[in-house]
Amino acid sequence: MTGYLLRRIAQAAATMLVAMVLIFIALRVIPGNPLLARFGQHPDQAAMERLEKEYGWDKPLPVQIFDYFWKLFTAGDLGRSIARPNESVSSELAARIPATLELTLAAVMLAIPLGVLAGVAAAVWRNRLPDLACMTIALLGVSIPVFFLGILLREIFTQMPTSGRLPSNVFDYDPITGLVLLDTLLQGRMLLFGEGIRHLCLPAITLSTIPTAVIARITRSSMLEVLDSDYVRTARAKGCPPWRVVWRQAFPNATPAVVNIAAFQIGMLLSGAVLTETIFDWPGLGKYVTDAVSGDKDYVVVQACAMVIAAVFVTTNLLVDMVYVWLDPRIRLT
């Protein structure tokens, strides 16, 4: 088992490095000069050349790659914003990641339990009303675009907060961790905790809809396969209670497929967060990269955000493989 885990960690590190290099190169070959976002359409050529030298863009591409990753791995430096040169991208990401993390965790806490319960119910009552209702709702959830659902919820639930998080400079609480719900809970500010949930509801529901639907469909398929197996029929023939057959016999054996798709959907939540955070003006990673692309054309910011998202995908897959080792004893012997 130790050898397997070490191999997976080495593969994840190599994948992450290759992905980061490809992101770096891809943004360098895009046509156009990113400095135009700072100088406009009629730039001072001497000033542009000075800045290109300052950013190191006058050097050969292999040297740029080496310099960038040397600063990243030795000092955690992701560069400086082009549009706002005094702004450290690393510090901005550190300030914005907690908002995205809180939104993503809220969406996960909705998607996994609801998706699993809906999928199990659909499998147990196959071809009956619960199955039809769950799968119809799941199909709608997969089909509705995130941006449309977000706008629709904003228009329907007008009494709910539809823009931004619970700001610490307006509501009196100390932002200890950057996670509003955790900070207000740690400080015993239950009214603010409830207000934070109100601000989080619509974005979290919007972001969790597609993952919930996907998890429900995969759970149903996996459970149907297991429920038709010989050992489940044997357990039923011996008089095992229905709840025990479902949750103690069938569900544990359907778990690997559910874990796999759930982990993949957690990674996909970051891409969905780009639209969700833009719709609800949520000050996280997605809003940051949207502003960088649409307004400032700041590819230093885009590059850093893309690397963070890639790191989340790779790390999530690595954690899933580690969970598989625990769920499937056969892997421990390889």
Residue 242 burial (10 A CB sphere; 0-12, 13-18, 19+)? exposed
Q: Which residue has the tokens 């149903």?
A: 220
Instruction: Measure the CA–CA gap between 198 and 251, rounded to whole angstroms.
Output: 34
Instruction: Please tell me the predicted confidence (pLDDT) of residue 59.
Output: 84
User: How long, in residues, is the chain?
Assistant: 334
Question: For 319, how many CA atoms within 13 A lie in the half-sphere containing its CB?
Answer: 13
Instruction: Please tell me the predicted confidence (pLDDT) of residue 136.
Output: 93
Instruction: Please tell me the predicted confidence (pLDDT) of residue 38.
Output: 65
Instruction: Measure the CA–CA gap between 180 and 100, rounded to whole angstroms.
Output: 11
Q: What is the pLDDT along the chain (334 residues), one digit of tens a residue?
A: 677 778 888 988 899 899 989 988 888 777 766 666 666 666 677 777 787 787 787 888 889 889 888 988 888 888 888 777 777 888 888 888 999 999 999 999 999 999 999 999 999 999 999 999 999 999 998 898 888 999 999 889 888 887 778 765 666 777 788 888 888 888 888 888 888 898 899 999 999 999 999 999 999 999 999 998 888 888 888 888 888 888 988 898 888 888 888 878 877 787 778 889 989 989 888 888 888 887 667 888 888 888 888 888 888 888 887 877 777 666 655 5
Instruction: Please tell me the predicted confidence (pLDDT) of residue 275.
Output: 86
pTM: 0.85
Instruction: Please tell me the predicted confidence (pLDDT) of residue 33.
Output: 67
Instruction: Measure the CA–CA gap between 63 and 68, rounded to whole angstroms.
Output: 8
Alpha helices (H) in the chain, listed in sequence order: 2-28, 36-39, 45-55, 61-75, 89-124, 129-143, 146-156, 180-186, 190-227, 230-237, 242-244, 251-279, 285-291, 299-327, 329-332
Domain residue spans of the chain: 1-75, 96-331
> What is the CATH T-level fold of the domain 96-331, as seen in this structure?
MetI-like fold (1.10.3720)
Instruction: Measure the CA–CA gap between 312 and 189, rounded to whole angstroms.
Output: 32
